[in-house]
Amino acid sequence: MIDPERLLSSRAKSVDGSGIRRAFQLGARLIDPINLSIGQPDFAVPKLLCDATVEAIRNGRNGYTMTGGADDLRQSISSYVSSDVGWDMTSSDASDLLVTSGTSGALLLAFMVLCDAGCEAIVPDPWFVVYPTLGPMTGTTIVPCDTYDDFRMTAARVEPLITDRTKIVLINSPGNPTGVVLTDDEMRDLADLCVSRGIMLVSDEIYDLFTFADGRSDSGPSPSPARYTQDMLLIRGFGKTYGCTGWRMGWAAGPSWLISEMGKFQQYSFVCAPSMAQAGLVGAFDIDMSETLNLFERRRNMVREILGPVTDISDCRGAFYSFVKVPEHLGMTGTAFSELAIEQKVVTIPGGVFSSRDTHIRLSFACQDDKLRKGLEILRDLM
Ligand code: PMP
C-alpha cells in the first residue's frame, strides 16, 4: 500500500505552501472581489514581443537551445548588462551569463551550487516567499535579517549576522513585499561588505525597470550593487516588467566559475529556458515601458494618499506592492485584518506570509485604478 507519509521527503514536509494559496482560495469564493493580492502585472504583454514569440514558434524555434541560452538573446542581454551596470561581458558564448527558467530558476540554481547542508544564507525579513523555501530545498540554513520598520536591508544590519558558515547574502530591491528601493550608497556598502568577507552577494532585481523616479538617483537607472563589483550574482527577469510571468524567463550574470556551475545544474534539471520565449524577448530592452511605469507610480501615489493618513506604509519606490501596517489600535494581526477585509470583498495577503511577524498586510497595486481606489477606501475605513 502507498503511504505518502513514508514516501514524502522531510524536505517536502518542512515547507508550508499554504499562505498565499489560502488568500487565493478565500478570494476565489467571492463574487466580483477587489483583488489586491496578485503579483501578476495587469497590463498586456507588448505586441511586438507577442508577435516575435508566435513568429518564433512558426519559424521552428521549438527545440532545445544551448543550456546557457540562444545566441541572439544572450547578445541582447549582454549588451544591456554592459550598458546598464558597466560590466565587461566578454562574448556571447562566455559563461558569464545564463538564461534561466524565470528568476526563481536562477535563485534555485545559485543556492544549489553554492550551499551545502549547514551553510547559511542571509535573506531579508520580510522576504519574497521563495527565499525561505530555498533553505529546505537545498539544505541551506536561512538567516532572516530583520529590516523593520523601514525595510532597508543595509550592510549595518547584515554584518552582525555573518558567520564563517555564511555563503550568500540575498537582497531584493525594489523589494517584494515592500516596494522599498535601496540607495546607491546602501548598495555600495553591501557590495564592499560581501566582497571583503568573501561572501556571494546575490541581487534579485526582478523589478529593476519598475523603479519610480524617487527611487533613482539623478533619474539614472535603478540602484544596483553591480555598479560597484562584478564579484556578485545579478539576477533579473522579463516576467514582471513585460507582463509575461508565464513565459518563465529570467537570467543570471556573474563570475564565470559560478555561472558555469549553475549552467551544469540547469543542463540536468530545467535543461534550457523556453525556446520560443527566448526568441521572442530578444527585442525587449528596446521597448519603452515608461507609460506603464508612470501608471504604477500614480497608483503608488494613490495608496499613499488614501492610506497614509490612517497608518504606516512602506516607503515604496518601485515594484507594485505596499506593505501596510495594521494600526495598533485595532489590536489585530495581519491575518485577522486580511480576513476582515475579505468580508468586505477586498483580498490582500497577511504580512505573516512574508515575515516572522504578522503585523502588516501586502497589497498589490497591479489592479485597475477604479477597483484599486475602491479597495483602498474600504481598507481605510476599516483602519
Ligand atoms: N523574485 C521576486 C522578488 C519576486 O517577486 C518574484 C515573483 N513574484 C520572483 C523572484 C520570481 O519570478 P519568476 O516568475 O521570474 O520566477
Taking only the tens of pLDDT, the chain with its 383 residues reads: 999 999 999 998 888 876 667 777 777 778 888 999 988 888 899 999 999 999 999 999 999 999 999 999 999 999 999 999 999 886 545 689 999 999 999 999 999 999 999 999 999 999 999 999 999 999 999 999 999 999 999 999 999 999 999 999 999 999 999 999 999 999 999 999 999 999 999 999 999 999 999 999 877 889 999 999 999 999 999 999 999 999 999 999 999 999 999 999 999 999 999 999 999 999 999 999 999 999 999 999 999 999 999 999 999 999 999 999 999 999 999 999 999 999 999 999 999 999 999 999 999 999 999 999 999 999 999 99
- 8 Å CB contact between 219 and 63: no
Q: Classify domain 62-285 by CATH number.
A: 3.40.640.10
Q: Give CA–CA dist 148/157, Å, rounded.
A: 11
Q: Cis peptide leading into 136, omega within 30 of 0?
A: no
Superfamily grouping for domain 4-44+289-382? Aspartate Aminotransferase, domain 1 (3.90.1150.10)
Q: Grid coordinates representing 149?
A: 520598520
**Residue of minimum CA distance from atom 7 in ligand 1:** 39
- Is 237 touching ligand 1 by the criterion CB < 6 Å? yes
> How many angstroms separate the alpha carbon of residue 261 from the centre of ligand 1?
22
* Most ligand 1 atoms within 8 A of CB, residue of 38, 111, 128 to mutate: 128
For 46, list phi and psi in degrees, rounded to 5. -50, 135
Please give the number of the atom of ligand 1 that sits closest to the Cα of 319.
5
Q: Do domains 4-44+289-382 and 62-285 have the same CATH topology?
A: no
Q: Give CA–CA dist 203/191, Å, rounded.
A: 10
Q: Nearest 5°: CA angle at 157, between 154 and 162? A: 115
- DSSP lists the bridge partners of residue 168 as 121, 200
State the amino acid at position 71 in one-letter form.
D
CA pseudo-torsion sign 375, 358, 308, 243: negative
Q: Tell how far CA 362 is from the center of its chain.
A: 14
> How many angstroms separate the alpha carbon of residue 157 from the centre of ligand 1?
24
- Is 127 touching ligand 1 by the criterion CB < 6 Å? no
Q: Grid coordinates representing 57?
A: 514558434
The domain ranges of the chain are 4-44+289-382, 62-285
Q: Please provide the DSSP assignment of 96-122 as one string.
A: TEEEEEHHHHHHHHHHHHH--TT-EEE
Measured distance between the N- and C-terminal CA atoms of the chain, rounded to whole angstroms: 53
Please give the number of the atom of ligand 1 that sits closest to the Cα of 107.
10
- Is 102 touching ligand 1 by the criterion CB < 6 Å? yes
